[in-house]
Chain A
Amino acid sequence: MRIEAKDPVVEFHDLTVSYHKKPVLWNIDMTLPKGALIGIIGPNGAGKSTLIKSAMGLLPLGSGHVRMFDQELDAVRDKVSYVPQRESVDWDFPTSVLDVVLMGRYAKLGLLKRPRKADKEMAMSCLKKVGMEAFIGRQISQLSGGQQQRVFLARALAQEAELYFMDEPFAGVDAATESAILSIMQEMTAEGKTVIVVHHDLQSAAEYFDWIVLLNMRLVASGPIEEVFNNKMLQETYGGKLTVLAEVGELVRKRQIPSREKY
């Protein structure tokens, strides 16, 4: 079930993504609306992270394309922000909370330029928004999981983007952090920004999001929560594993053929 967005900000067109030639996402085709809080939901190994990584150009696309603001990603990078999974970095890296948040300013600064006072003030105000102003000089290895996630969110806020892709921002955080992050996201969407979140908890998904994308190696549904978040759709996402799809994927890997024929 696929409902087109009226005011689309991201468009996935026939996107297929493979790891070592094995397709993990098949023909994703959908549009996502501006100013919505969007949840990408699906079981483990459904390709949720893969979807946003490929949207951000971090993985090679097998076929298809992704457009944002009706343009190529490279043309609008300053309007798009990406929050990676917390576990994807080494938190023992010798740097401070403020330094990490300042990284959000690097694109605006450009090569060879150092952060100025204004950038530092900007970073401070983002830290304040996520309730971490007391931790500015703190070494990042001393942060708890929830604090790490808040720092990542502050870094994304410092980018002053219009469109946010967040990979599991609620994973392994405390309840206070979860509600703090949620209310910041709601504030952002109220300002017309679009927030796309990879999420794995069905219970909270029903309360958090306006628009839901159900994923399990293929797109099961995409649409306003009240229309797609129902038993039938969830059954199809979680219960109905398409064994033929998985088998064909395995065949493709074994034969090492590209997902589109090239001559």
Chain B
Amino acid sequence: METFFEFFSFSDASIVSVTVGAILLTASSAVVGTFTFLKKKALVGDAVAHAVLPGICLAFILSGNKNPLILIIGAFITGWLSLIIIDGITKKSKIKEDSAIALILSVFFGIGILMLTYIQHSGNAAQTGLDSFLFGKAAALVGNDVITFGVVAVTLMLTVSLFFKELKLISFDSNFAKALGIPVKGIDLLLTTLTVLAVVTGIQAVGVILMAAMLITPAAAARFWTNDVKKMTILAAFLGAIAGLVGAYVSYAAPAMPTGPWIVLIISGIALFSFFFAPQKGVVSRMYEQRKMQHLMMNENLLKSLYHLGEKDDNLFKGRKMAEILSKRYFPKKKLKETLTRLKRQGFLISTQAGWSFTEIGKQKGQRVVKLHRLWELYLTKYMHIASDHVHEDAETIEHIITPEVEAELERILEFPTEDPHDEKIPY
């Protein structure tokens, strides 16, 4: 707890720089990643992330020190090269994009690991900490590094906001963009460059191996909450930033903990939460909707059965025992009880000595379902020429979903019929 307050008071200058650095890195890669995600190029980020490793190592071997600017340049060159090669392979050979990505990713990463091992055994004292690029180390962000990475991160976000309109258009409809005369190739190149830059800076925080998650996961999580590209981009940045903040805290509180995996765990947790609990698109909300629909169908089926019973002995408001309802239509006992109590609570039924009976609005609701069922049967026989003994099953489903507008339309085109195809009265 003590470290918690210590950290979040931001009294220590190094805490501030680590935190600001981590947040900028994660947020900027989330912003760029939104468009990689929308262009369905999620794997491209993964390829670049692995392909920058040889660049970093080569830059170190040639320069002999860990100046971040030099490492960024090295990383940038091999990251870019990998994308050009993937593009070339896809265009010039029969190998498809996914295979090309897999090929390039492993070849570049293999070379990178080879070089890293060589450097580690070379006895160069400056090499310590270079392996933090594998898993990332937010705590390594100090002083000038933060400024370098911060500038790159801010540039990324500014560039995306400047070209937002064009990025949106080429992600949605690149043929139309070309037809408009928008420099689609140029914008594509820009997005590629931004992706490489985002990866190059982001690996400082989460490392080579997990970088793809940092590009794609915030966007994937944000997509659950909004249907607007702009809101989605901002939300992705925000979610990425939260993960960055927590990551920075972890590396402060427990210096032995790997920062990158923590950041990725947090953002994955957020994505998982969105997957389950987002309104409309989330699993839970969809399950809730389904349950509501099931309740509605149970309600209506029960009211319909009561109406049928009432029709039979010409007394719609007579009380009925559960056994009598079951004789009309099968319901699982438990479900039947539940539904009866629910309908009572909702004011459609009352329970009396003689059993369950309609209230006035309960009767109207039951009558409407019966009417819709019979109207639909009539419609199917009249307009779709389906035999009258084949229409019942279909009407069983459709009766629950017909809206008042469709109802009025059916009544109009069938001219308020009085009888359905089985000579049963259609009640109004």
CB within 8 Å of B: which residues of A? 53, 56-58, 74, 77-78, 80-82, 84, 88-90, 93-96, 99-100, 103, 106-107, 109, 111-115, 139, 141, 155, 159
Contact = CB atoms under 8 A, between A and B. Distances in A.
B169 interface: yes
Contact of B229 (A56, A95, A109, A155): A95
A58 B227 contact: no
Interface in B145-176: 162-163, 165-166, 168-169, 171-173, 175-176
Given A94-B226, A95-B229, A107 B175 contact: no
Contact of A107 (B38, B172, B181, B229): B181
Contacts, number: 74
Q: Which 8 A-B pairs have the closest CB atoms?
A: A82-B179, A77-B181, A107-B180, A139-B227, A56-B179, A89-B173, A94-B227, A93-B172
B229 A103 contact: no
Main SS of chain B's interface residues?
Answer: helix
Interface string B28-52: 0000000000100000000000000
Interface of B: 38, 162-163, 165-166, 168-169, 171-173, 175-182, 223, 226-229, 232
Nearest to A85: B175
B162 to A, nearest CB: 6
Contact of A95 (B163, B168, B175, B180): B168
Contact of B169 (A58, A77, A103): A103
A112 B169 CA distance: 13
Given A95-B228, A106-B165, A112-B162, A57 B178 contact: yes
Contacts of B166: 106, 111
A58 B232 contact: no
A94 B176 contact: no
A88 to B, nearest CB: 6
A231 B256 CA distance: 83
B163 A84 contact: no
Contacts of A89: 172-173
Given A111-B166, A112-B163, 4 more contacts: A58-B175, A96-B228, A106-B180, A111-B163
B172 A114 contact: no
Contacts of B226: 94
Contacts of B228: 94-96
